Amino acid sequence: DAGVTQTPRHEVAEKGQTIILKCEPVSGHNDLFWYRQTKIQGLELLSYFRSKSLMEDGGAFKDRFKAEMLNSSFSTLKIQPTEPKDSAVYLCASSLGANTGQLYFGEGSKLTVL
């Protein structure tokens, strides 16, 4: 079974650029999450979709971060414009839904903003 696939694994951007990160969830999963991971804050929720509908668009991240789910098997996270403080690992996770309580994470996309 294919797990959660994230691309690219690594991205280097100049300040002010637009970057798009991609995620393919586990086939058949209804819930999709985007998290940002840093050493200091740990995992912070950016967006949460259920059956392609946006359930949560995380507060402090709204202005420059936009997640979309174009179909049930593909999601993107756009950061525009990027800032050095956006340097982090961005994790996508999916779940069957129905409150299973188990998220399946991808390996993450490591973003470095210069």
Contact between 109 and other proteins per CB under 8 A: no
Under the binding rule (CB under 8 A), the answer on residue 99 touching other proteins is: yes
Q: Please give, one letter per residue, the 3-state secondary structure of the chain.
A: CCCCEEECCEEEECCCCCEEEEEECCCCCCEEEEEEEECCCEEEEEEEEECCEEEEECHHHCCCEEEEEEECCEEEEEECCCCHHHCEEEEEEEECCCCCCCCEECCCEEEEEC
Per CB under 8 A, 103 contacts other proteins: yes
Residues 8-27 contacting other proteins, CB under 8 A:
none
Encoded one letter per residue, x for contact with other proteins by CB under 8 A and - for no contact, window 21-60 reads ----------x-x-x---xxxxxxx--x------xx----
| Contact positions vs other proteins (CB under 8 A) | 4, 31, 33, 35, 39-45, 48, 55-56, 91, 93, 95, 97, 99-108
